[in-house]
Amino acid sequence: MSGEKISNPSGSVQKQPPVATRRAAPHALPALPYADSALDPVISAQTVGIHHGKHEKGYIDNLNRLVQGTEFADMSLEKIIAATAGKADKIGVFNNAAQAWNHAFYWRSLRPNGGGDPPAGLKQKIEAAFGSVADCKAALAKAAAGQFGSGWAWLVLEGDKLKAVNTGNADNPLTRGQKPLLTLDVWEHAYYLDYQNRRADYISAVLDKLMNWGFADENLRGRPWLV
Ligand SMILES: [Fe+2]
């Protein structure tokens, strides 16, 4: 996809990369960065297809319906999330915007033949915060397994330090002043067809075989993530 042209206040035109978070309504379902079957056998093509094509698409369709004709219609997902977080009367808009953001981020947090050793810069930060990559994975597994009910586990940057955290339902570390680097979806729809109630098996398989440490490293260095 080519970049979009953005007018700045002086009237000249700059070439900007197509950053997901800059977009306003109608929000589109981002294409997966790989085929539905690319994560098999850790996550089956059936799970990926339903998760992306039904669940994620549902959040985006709901969001477009909810923001039409409102003050949120021209906002990016990140702006909607910031504007609605913690507001009881906007919970529907928040939930659907955050789930749209979280899912786009989740698919990029995974990659076929992932896992292994993180890039050097990220590895240093991991070792400073957790002791080792294995300890970081253990902390992420604990955050993911310890999330009661639906939610997410995240590797985040808080200040200058990495942390493993979890959030419930649609909640997102952006609203807590933390910078997300990687996420793992622990809603049942993410694993139930493949693992049934064995959430811990899904978590350990994904951490060992699908983690996209390169994506986390890019986020650590502030590179915009694309869809
Ligand atoms: Fe999900």
pLDDT in tens, 37-95: 999 999 999 999 999 999 999 999 999 999 999 999 999 999 999 999 999 999 999 99
- Cα 82 to ligand 1 centre (Å): 21
Best CA proximity match to 184, nearest among 81, 107, 98: 107
100 C-alpha vs ligand 1 centroid, how far in Å?
9
Mean pLDDT for 127-148 is 97
pLDDT confidence of residue 111: 98
pLDDT of 147-172, one tens digit each? 999 999 999 999 999 999 999 999 99
- What global pTM score does this model have? 0.89
pLDDT of residue 23: 66
Residue 72 CA to ligand 1 centre (angstroms): 23
Centre of ligand 1 from the C-alpha of residue 189, in Å: 6
User: Which DSSP letter does residue 197 get?
Assistant: T
State the Cα–Cα distance between residues 91 and 66, nearest whole angstrom: 11
State what percent of residues in the chain have pLDDT above 70.
Answer: 89
Q: Read off the DSSP letter of residue 86.
A: T
Q: Ligand 1 centre and the CA of 5: distance in Å?
A: 32
